[in-house]
Amino acid sequence: MMIWNQIKTILLLGALSGLLLFLGSLIGGAAGLQIAFILALVMNGITYFYSDKIVLKMYGAKPLDRERYSTIYRDVEALTQSMQLPMPKLWLVDSPMANAFATGRDPQHASVAVTTGILQLLDERELRGVLAHELGHVKNRDTLITTIAATMATAIGYLAHMLQYAAFWGSMQQDDRRKGNPIFMLLVAMLMPIAATLVQLAISRSREYLADETGARCCKDPLSLARALEKLDGQARYARRQDDPRYAATESLFIVHPIHQDGLMNLFSTHPPVYRRVAKLRTLADELF
């Protein structure tokens, strides 16, 4: 299962690359492709290097008190030794929302944050499973992978806008080839960003599955993580009444989506459905034990 998630990520990144090259070939100019890609690199490079500071400040995170939360420090130290990772910085977010997230551009600059809500909701074993999941993200370098995906998706968005203007003003070459058809150009320009977003979200979901498995194997307790996910998802069902713009900007970071989603909304979610994650963890528990 772990190998399949890695392969799926590679295939999805390849799909994003294919969409990017396809749009570039339609525009026909290497200069436009280069400009769009450079802009995307700059934007996402800033996000990659400074997103941890931005997010922690956004939520008013404070360093987790070592004396008061010695059990958490002990668990994280044991997990990092098992995963052969450096000790991350631990943070506390004062929020009733039960959740946790990891951030930082690489294992050497990693931070793991928990909310006061999750400390009240979960027992010690369940919280340990959540911490193992977040360290799984750190070990798998998911910040780097999601930044690469975001870079390509952003570049595709820029190229799509360029293609719209080119089709509208008729600046493209007009010949009998399909690529010169302005209607086709407009259709491609509208559909490509949607396709890129769906692929980007699929990458995010595949990394959640992988972090689940990495963390569960490390803590050797898949069922505790499964119970934690069920509790967190149950709490998130009441988050519909919360109107916090921070959630929309940072939803991909959390272990579960801050607001519960059902039906077709799962297609546009950064997280796979919790019931599927729980089912995979229970299957893993049967394999391990």
In the residue annotation, 134 being an active-site residue is answered as: yes
Pairing between β-strand 89-93 and β-strand 111-115 as defined by DSSP bridges: parallel
Task: Dig out the tokens for 218 from the structure.
Answer: 């490390």
Instruction: Say how far apart CA 171 and CA 204 lie, in whole Å.
Output: 37
Angle of CA points 79, 110, 280, to nearest 5°: 50
Separation CA 246–CA 128 (nearest Å): 26
Cβ neighbours for 272, distance < 8 A, ≥ 6 positions apart: 205, 208, 209, 266
User: Strands of 100-103's sheet, edge to edge?
Assistant: 62-63, 89-93, 111-115, 100-103
Say if residues 149 and 13 touch (Cβ distance below 8 Å). yes
Let me know how many helices (H) and strands (E) the chain has, helices first.
10, 4
| Phi-psi group of 151: left, alpha or beta (phi > 0 → left; psi -120 to 50 → alpha; rest → beta) | alpha
Q: Which of 126, 134, 213, 251 is catalytic?
A: 134
Supply the residues annotated as catalytic: 134
